[in-house]
Structure 1
Amino acid sequence: MQVVFMNRLVKGSQSDEEAAAQVWIGEEEGVWHLGWRDFQMNEEFVDSSWYEGDSWNELLCIYRHGLAIKLGEGYRPIVEGVFHEEEEQRYRGQSVQKLYCYSEFHPEENLYNELCAWRRRRAVSERKAPYFIASNKLLRLISSFIPHNVDELMQLPGVGDNKAGDYGPDILEITAKVARNHNFPLNWVYAELNEEVYMTWVFKQKEQKYKLELDQYRMRRTLMMGISGGKNLGQLEQECNTPRKEIVEALEELEKEGYDTEHLIQNELQEMPSDEQNAVWSALEELGDMFLKPVLQKVYGESKEAIARGSIDLLYERIRLIRIRFRRDQESKRNVG
Structure 2
Amino acid sequence: MQIVFMNRLVKDAGSEGEKLAQVWIGEEEGTWHLGWRDLEMTGEAMDTAWYEGGSWNEMLYIYRHGLAVKLGEGFRPLIDGTFHEEEELKGRSHAVQKLYCYSELHNNEELYAELTAWRRRKAASERKAPYFIASNRVLRLISAFVPHSIEELLQLPGVGESKASEYGADLIEIAGTVQRSHEFPLDWVNDALDDQSYLSWTYKQKEHKYKQDLDKYRTRRTMLKGIYEGMNLQQLEQECGLPRRDLVEALEQLEKEGYDTERLIQSELEEVPNEEQERVWAALEELGDALLKPVLLQVYGEDAASGSGMEQRYERIRLIRIRFRRQPGSRRSVG
Q: TM-score, normalised by structure 2?
A: 0.90
1:263 maps to which residue? 263
1:316 maps to which residue? 314
Structure 1: gaps of 5 or more residues: none
1:73 maps to which residue? 73
Distance verdict in 2 for CA 1:307–1:203, change over 3 Å: closer
Deviates more, 1:219-228 or 1:271-280: 271-280
Q: Deviations over 1:72-100 (max 9, x none)?
A: 11111123344325x64799633222222
2:294 maps to which residue? 294
User: What SS does the corresponding residue of 1:303 show, helix, strand or coil?
Assistant: helix
Residues 283, 298 of structure 1: 8 Å contact kept: yes
Shift of 1:331: 6.5
In 1, the alpha carbon distance for the partners of 2:243 and 2:29 equals 38
In 1, the alpha carbon distance for the partners of 2:52 and 2:93 equals 36
In 1, the alpha carbon distance for the partners of 2:187 and 2:16 equals 32
1:170 maps to which residue? 170
1:150 maps to which residue? 150
Residues 301, 307 of structure 1: 8 Å contact kept: no
Equivalent AA in structure 2 for residue 255 of structure 1: E
Residues 300, 307 of structure 1: 8 Å contact kept: no
In 2, the alpha carbon distance for the partners of 1:91 and 1:44 equals 44
In 2, the alpha carbon distance for the partners of 1:36 and 1:331 equals 52
User: What SS does the corresponding residue of 1:131 show, helix, strand or coil?
Assistant: helix
Equivalent AA in structure 1 for residue 84 of structure 2: F
In 2, the alpha carbon distance for the partners of 1:57 and 1:263 equals 26
In 2, the alpha carbon distance for the partners of 1:293 and 1:242 equals 23
The two structures, once aligned, show a CA RMSD in angstroms of 2.6
**Correspondences of 1:161-310 after superposition (within 5 Å):** 161-303=161-303
Distance verdict in 2 for CA 1:197–1:88, change over 3 Å: closer
- The answer to whether structure 1 residue 128 and structure 2 residue 131 are counterparts is no
2:325 maps to which residue? 327
Q: TM-score, normalised by structure 1?
A: 0.89
- The answer to whether structure 1 residue 83 and structure 2 residue 50 are counterparts is no
Q: Deviations over 1:33-92 (max 9, x none)?
A: 21111111111212222112221110111001111111111111123344325x647996
Structure 2: gaps of 5 or more residues: none
Equivalent AA in structure 1 for residue 323 of structure 2: R
Aligned residue pairs total 331
1:115 maps to which residue? 115
Deviates more, 1:234-243 or 1:119-128: 119-128
Give aligned-pair identity as a percent: 64
